[in-house]
């Protein structure tokens, strides 16, 4: 009996360690699926280039550090602005042309963009990861008694939570967010009230992309900066989105964190399944509640 328990309950440091990794992954899932949901809400396209834009954020931080000597903290602002502006250009010159078509064309178009972006970076930087060091201020960590908490990881969780709930607040609780939600429901009517909907669409896409880029900068010191860092992640995020449903901003955030934690726990109890845990959960959700946990029927 006791022997069995000993196997089933892993030592606390391992458990909390994996829980922390899960929470970190969950932070990135939440930020990315939030960006996807915001973009989908107004543009009605699934942004397949989201993973590539996350990678662009990380690379932006890496490049300004190595060529201009600009460190981590300014990068947190520079990367989202640069990549977000790039996203707005993409929206203005490419994505805009396909709004009247089936949603699937948006998926294909942004998939093509992702291939281009990733291909260019792979050509110049190879598939290997480039290191990006943790800023001095956040080096080291705290010994909490039951586990060791690196400062940088605590910062990532805090920063992404603030971003996610800030976004939620803006969309659900401010006038700007009200315009946004109204335009999601009925763009023609909102335009008739004198609001420049096309510009709002461009800005929204830019914001979603900037969120992905910010996630990329946060991820740079944890994972290495590599051209393909976003390509497998985006598929997991798609599964998160299918599980959560795109109906609710809060759903994307809570779902992202929760699934990261579940994935982390799987690593402790059944490591073989950890890479597929989220996909299995997706299958179960599809069977039980096809519209997603927080979603409306689509």
Partner 1 sequence: MNETATMRTARRFALLGAALVAPVAFYPIFLMKALCFALFAAAFNLLIGFAGLLSFGHAAFFGSASYVTAYAAKSWGVPPLLAILAGTVVAGIMGVVFGWLAIRRKGIYFAMVTLALSQMVYFYALESQYTGGEDGIQAVPRGDLLGLIDLNQPLVMYYFVLAICLLGFGVVYRAIHSPFGEVLKAIRDNEPRAISLGYHTDRYKLLAFTLSATLAGLAGATKALVFQLASLTDVTWQMSGDVVLMTLIGGLGTIWGPVVGAFISITMENYLAELGSWVTVIQGTIFVVCVLAFRRGVIGEVVHFVSRRQRKPQLVDEPGIHRAS
| Contacting residues toward partner 1, per CB under 8 A | 45-46, 94, 97-98, 101-109, 111-120, 122-123, 231-232, 235-236, 238-239, 241-242, 272, 275-276, 279-280, 282-283, 286-287, 290, 298
Three-state secondary structure call for residue 292: coil
- Minimum distance from CB of 260 to partner 1 (Å)? 16
- Minimum distance from CB of 206 to partner 1 (Å)? 19
Both tokens assigned to 116: 């281009």
Q: For residues 80 and 245, which CB has a smaller minimum distance to partner 1 in the complex?
A: 245
Hunting for tokens 């008739």 — which residue is that?
192
Both tokens assigned to 77: 């602002």
Helix (H) / strand (E) element for 16: namely: helix 12-43
Q: For residues 55 and 239, which CB has a smaller minimum distance to partner 1 in the complex?
A: 239
Distance, in Å, from the CA atom of 204 to the CA atom of 117, rounded to the nearest integer, reads 21
- Of the candidates 21, 66, 104, 22, the one whose C-alpha atom is nearest the C-alpha of residue 278 is 22
Q: For residues 104 and 176, which CB has a smaller minimum distance to partner 1 in the complex?
A: 104
Q: For residues 4 and 124, which CB has a smaller minimum distance to partner 1 in the complex?
A: 124
- Minimum distance from CB of 238 to partner 1 (Å)? 4
DSSP state of 291: T
Q: For residues 42 and 78, which CB has a smaller minimum distance to partner 1 in the complex?
A: 42
Decide if 239 contacts 293 (C-beta within 8 A): no
- Minimum distance from CB of 120 to partner 1 (Å)? 6
The residues facing 150 across adjacent strands are: 141
- Minimum distance from CB of 143 to partner 1 (Å)? 35
């Amino acid at each position: 009996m006791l022997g069995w328990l000993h196997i089933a309950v892993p030592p606390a440091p391992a458990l909390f360690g994996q829980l922390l990794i899960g929470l970190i992954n969950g932070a990135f899932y939440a930020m990315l699926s939030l960006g996807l949901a915001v973009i989908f809400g107004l543009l009605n396209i699934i942004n397949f280039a989201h993973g590539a834009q996350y990678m662009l954020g990380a690379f932006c931080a890496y490049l300004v550090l190595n060529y201009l000597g600009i460190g981590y903290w300014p990068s947190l602002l520079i990367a989202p602005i640069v990549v977000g502006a790039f996203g707005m250009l993409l929206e203005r010159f490419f994505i805009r042309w396909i709004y009247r078509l089936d949603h699937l064309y948006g998926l294909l178009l942004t998939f093509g963009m992702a291939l281009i972006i990733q291909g260019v970076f792979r050509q110049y930087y190879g598939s290997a990861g480039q290191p990006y060091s943790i800023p001095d201020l956040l080096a080291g960590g705290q010994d909490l008694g039951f586990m060791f908490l690196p400062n940088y990881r605590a910062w990532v969780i805090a920063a992404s939570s603030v971003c996610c709930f800030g976004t939620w607040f803006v969309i659900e609780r401010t006038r700007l967010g009200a315009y946004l939600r109204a335009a999601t429901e009925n763009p023609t009517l909102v335009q008739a009230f004198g609001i420049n909907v096309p510009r709002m669409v461009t800005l929204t896409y830019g914001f979603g992309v900037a969120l992905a880029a910010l996630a990329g900068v946060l991820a740079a010191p944890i994972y290495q900066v590599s051209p393909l860092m976003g390509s497998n992640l985006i598929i997991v995020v798609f599964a998160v989105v299918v599980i959560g449903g795109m109906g609710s901003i809060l759903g994307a955030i809570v779902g992202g964190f929760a699934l990261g934690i579940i994935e982390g726990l799987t690593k402790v109890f059944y490591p073989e399944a950890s890479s597929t845990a989220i996909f299995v959960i997706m299958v179960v959700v599809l069977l039980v509640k096809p519209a997603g946990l927080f979603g409306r029927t689509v």
